[in-house]
Amino acid sequence: MLVPSAAALSLLAIPVAHGWGTLGHATVGAIADHYLTAQAKSWVSTKLDGATMASVASWADTYRYTTAGRFSAPYHFIDAEDSPPSACSVNLNRDCGAGGCVVSAIANYTQRVQDGRLTHENSKEALEFLIHFIGDVTQPLHDEAEQVGGNDIPVTWDGATTNLHACWDTQMLEKAAGGGNTSATLSSFSATLIGRIDSGSYSGQKASWLSCSNIKTASACALAWAQDANAFNCQYVLKTDENGKELDGTYYTGAEPIIEIQIAKAGYRLGDWINKMAAANP
Ligand SMILES: *[C@@H]1O[C@H](CO)[C@@H](O)[C@H](O)[C@H]1NC(C)=O
Ligand SMILES: *[C@@H]1O[C@H](CO)[C@@H](O)[C@H](O)[C@H]1NC(C)=O
């Protein structure tokens, strides 16, 4: 039997899991990169010192565990105090804590990235936060207080103990993508989702993903995105009691299309959001 290292144990002790894992966030970034206008591409490149959105998409998950970045931990989620699976809802007054939440963070960093008075470093950081949080908000369990967003629901994946939240972030996503966090998986998964957006099964509904897409009403749009994702908790994510169950089976089969559409949505929205910000601040 493998004895877990101290580092692995301390990771297990982290109360709230990451958000889409590294591959999920990188896919959101890669899809968004694909939809940038030429002007937005250069706007982003200048802010990110030449980096792509895909490559910086997980920075906020590293930063939150540093002393300097601790303040940003609540920005990765909104703890909706609803009653899944019978009633799902997100309410900003009820659910966004005093320390902020993903909705207030998207609004804050949308404003900051366009604020010409910020230093280059602060502007870059604002964009990196935004790239990450527009990804996090589409993960249904990031918009849910129940059992700490599923972190406290133990499940197994291929026999190994994990929790419901982590399975959505990483194990199920990597299975849907067809591999782990490698650049080959990133390319093929993002190409598959871009194909569906352009001319496949998502092409008829992608316009509805942008039904709230005004950068001047960032808080309202971020709330609408949180509500859209939170609804999946009643429809599927928390509909059945998965406590102690193996997820790599029927549960995964139902989860896969939700993961794929939510990642595609996040990437498509992020690209559009950045295009609008770049156009408004040439
Ligand atoms: C906005 O972001 C800045 C920089 O990270 C932070 O200091 C500030 O507290 C944030 N404000 C809100 C309301 O989240
Ligand atoms: C994921 O892959 C990227 C690109 O190959 C790499 O830079 C990053 O360190 C990897 N992250 C993890 C957590 O393995």
- Which class for 20: exposed (0-12), middle (13-18), buried (19 or more C-beta within 10 A)? buried
CA 13 → CA 6, 104, 139, 211, distances in Å?
Answer: 11, 27, 21, 39
We find that the CATH architecture of domain 5-280 is: Orthogonal Bundle (1.10)
Place of tokens 């399975």: 167
Residues noted as catalytic: 20, 25, 61, 64, 76, 132, 136, 142, 165, 169
Task: Show the CA angle centred on residue 47, arms to residues 59 and 139, nearest 5°.
Answer: 40
Mean per-residue pLDDT for 178-184?
Answer: 89
Q: Is the pLDDT of residue 216 over 90?
A: yes
Ligand 2 centroid to Cα of residue 180, in Å, is 10
- DSSP annotation of 149 reads T
Confidence of residue 18 (pLDDT cuts 50, 70, 90): low
Mean per-residue pLDDT for 203-218?
Answer: 97
Determine the length of the chain: 282
Express each pLDDT in 52-83 by its tens digit: 999 999 999 999 999 999 999 999 999 999 99
Is the beta carbon of 100 within 6 A of some atom in ligand 1? yes
**274 close to 33: Cβ distance less than 8 angstroms:** no
- Cα(156)–Cα(163) distance, integer angstroms: 7
Which two tokens mark 215?
Answer: 């950068």
Q: Count CB atoms within 10 A of the CB of residue 174.
A: 20
DSSP H or E run through 156 = strand 154-157
Q: Is the pLDDT of residue 268 over 50?
A: yes
- Cα(214)–Cα(135) distance, integer angstroms: 17
Dihedral angle, C-alpha 213, 269, 135, 179, nearest 10 °: 170
Q: What is the pLDDT of residue 20?
A: 87
Q: Is the pLDDT of residue 16 over 90?
A: no
Mean per-residue pLDDT for 214-233?
Answer: 98
Q: Is the pLDDT of residue 223 over 60?
A: yes
Ligand 2 centroid to Cα of residue 22, in Å, is 7
CA 225, 231, 232, 233 dihedral sign is positive
Express each pLDDT in 84-107 by its tens digit: 999 999 999 999 999 999 999 999
Percentage of the chain surpassing pLDDT 70?
94
Maximum pairwise Cα distance, the chain: 58
Q: What is the pLDDT of residue 11?
A: 42
Q: What is the pLDDT of residue 8?
A: 41
Confidence of residue 7 (pLDDT cuts 50, 70, 90): very low
> Average model confidence (pLDDT) for the chain?
93
Express each pLDDT in 249-263 by its tens digit: 999 999 999 999 999
- Cα(102)–Cα(196) distance, integer angstroms: 27
**18 close to 169: Cβ distance less than 8 angstroms:** yes
Q: Is the pLDDT of residue 9 over 60?
A: no
Is the beta carbon of 108 within 6 A of some atom in ligand 1? yes
- Cα(179)–Cα(23) distance, integer angstroms: 9
Q: What is the pLDDT of residue 19?
A: 73
